[in-house]
């Protein structure tokens, strides 16, 4: 891939996205707290199947049509919505008598606390298969970040591999331009929700993120761990749950790195604090 250009002076945080339940639609707050393992409330819940494996849009694209929002109480609970079902409020479960379950997330095992029976019935009814909703809370039960890209003690919740994901409007515009000239132009332009980022940055040139190594949003500093490899979820229309060919077809032709199709960058916080939409975005270190 060509070397990315330098970033313009005026770059800002354009949007924040929090997904309380992994693979469900989330919300776009105006501000969010950065914790060491990600945005507060992001991907602290997930669905698992009868064997304990995490269930995502990879297996169940209809999860795109379900939505999870933070509950009214500031305890980490969630409010669930899905077509054809009454909304359900789920509080953070207590691990009564050591009542955790083993969760297999991409080959890594963690212990999580199952939600109440009504949550399991609700989610199973929606998907038409037996699933359970579980919550990951205790810091000592979180997963370590990939040691090839992490420092000792760095952890992540139920995100795919890293605490946060950043994407840019400039790169999305460039990708959509490539799609418009390709074999499946009828599928474009694609919205940013296909990529399920936490942070969306405006004011940078296309693919500038390829060269970032440390960045700051407001006063919060992040290390750029590695490019984000994309999967079939990006081909799922988040409004219809239907799948197509894009963006993987175009990424395969133009954004392939070490055999992986990439869009966006994975981040690890180096500090904590509150992010606000409109905060200045600064590149602190880059490959030149």
Read off the pLDDT of residues 146-167 as tens digits, 9 standing for 90 and up.
Answer: 888 888 889 999 999 999 999 9
The angle at the Cα of 182, spanning 195 to 237, to the nearest 5 degrees, equals 30
In the three-class reduction of DSSP (H, G, I as helix; E, B as strand; rest coil), residue 219 is classed as coil
The least confident of 4-13, 24-33, 184-193, 219-228 is: 4-13
Average the pLDDT over 55-84 and give the result. 93
Residue 1 lies in a domain: no
Q: How many domains does the chain have?
A: 1
7 in any annotated domain: no
The boundaries of the domain holding residue 64 are 12-286
The pLDDT of residue 3 is above 60:
no
All residues at 6 or more sequence positions from 256 whose CB lies less than 8 Å from its CB, including other chains: 1, 262
Does residue 4 sit within a domain? no
Residue 162 lies in a domain: yes
Structural domain includes residue 236: yes
Percent of the chain with pLDDT over 90: 85
Q: Is residue 5 a part of any domain in this protein?
A: no
**Residue 186, SS3?**
helix
CA-based nearest residue to 269, from 102, 77, 42, 57: 42
CATH code (residue 217) = 2.40.33.20
Mean per-residue pLDDT over the chain, rounded: 93
pLDDT band at residue 140 using 50, 70 and 90 as cut-offs? low
pLDDT value of position 143: 85
Whether residue 7 is predicted with pLDDT greater than 60 in this model: the reply is no
Give the mean pLDDT of 238-247: 98
Query: Quick one: average pLDDT of 256-268?
Result: 96
Q: What is the pLDDT of residue 277?
A: 98
Note the pLDDT of residue 51.
Answer: 97
- Kindly state whether residue 6 falls inside one of the protein's structural domains: no
**Residue 277, both tokens:** 């939409």
- 97 falls in which pLDDT band (50, 70, 90)? low
Instruction: With beta carbons less than 8 A apart as the criterion, state whether 264 and 166 touch.
Output: yes
The verdict on residue 70 lying in a domain is yes
45-48: strand order across its sheet: 54-55, 45-48, 132-135, 108-114, 101-105
Instruction: Average the pLDDT over 253-272 and give the result.
Output: 97
9-27 pLDDT, tens per residue?
A: 589 999 999 999 999 999 9
Average of per-residue pLDDT across 64-80: 89
User: Is residue 56 pLDDT above 60, yes or no?
Assistant: yes
> Does residue 207 register a pLDDT over 70?
yes
Q: What is the pLDDT of residue 99?
A: 83
The pLDDT of residue 139: 61
């Amino acid at each position: 891939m060509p070397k990315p250009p330098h970033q313009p002076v005026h770059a800002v945080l354009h949007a924040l996205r929090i997904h309380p339940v992994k693979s469900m639609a989330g919300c776009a707050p105006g501000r969010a707290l950065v914790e060491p393992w990600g945005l507060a409330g992001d991907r602290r819940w997930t669905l698992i199947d009868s064997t304990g494996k995490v269930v995502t849009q990879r297996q169940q694209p209809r999860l795109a049509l379900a939505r999870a929002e933070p509950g009214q109480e500031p305890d980490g609970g969630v409010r669930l919505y899905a077509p054809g079902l009454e909304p359900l409020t789920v509080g953070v479960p207590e691990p009564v008598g050591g009542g955790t379950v083993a969760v297999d997330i991409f080959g890594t095992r963690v212990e999580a606390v199952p939600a109440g029976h009504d949550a399991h019935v609700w989610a199973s009814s929606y998907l038409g298969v037996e699933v359970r909703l579980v919550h990951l809370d205790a810091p000592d039960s979180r997963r370590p970040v990939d040691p090839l890209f992490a420092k000792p003690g760095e952890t992540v919740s139920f995100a795919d591999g890293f605490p946060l994901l950043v994407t840019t409007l400039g790169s999305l515009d460039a990708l959509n331009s490539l799609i418009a000239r390709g074999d499946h132009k009828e599928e474009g332009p694609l919205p940013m929700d296909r990529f399920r980022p936490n942070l969306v940055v405006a004011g940078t040139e296309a693919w500038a993120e390829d060269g970032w190594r440390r960045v700051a949003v407001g006063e919060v500093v992040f290390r750029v761990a590695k490019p984000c490899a994309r999967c079939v979820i990006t081909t799922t229309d988040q409004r219809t749950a239907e799948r197509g060919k894009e963006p993987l077809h175009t990424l395969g032709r133009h954004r392939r790195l070490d055999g992986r199709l990439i869009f966006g960058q994975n981040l690890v916080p180096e500090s904590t604090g509150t992010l606000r939409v409109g905060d200045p975005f600064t590149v602190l270190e880059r490959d030149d």
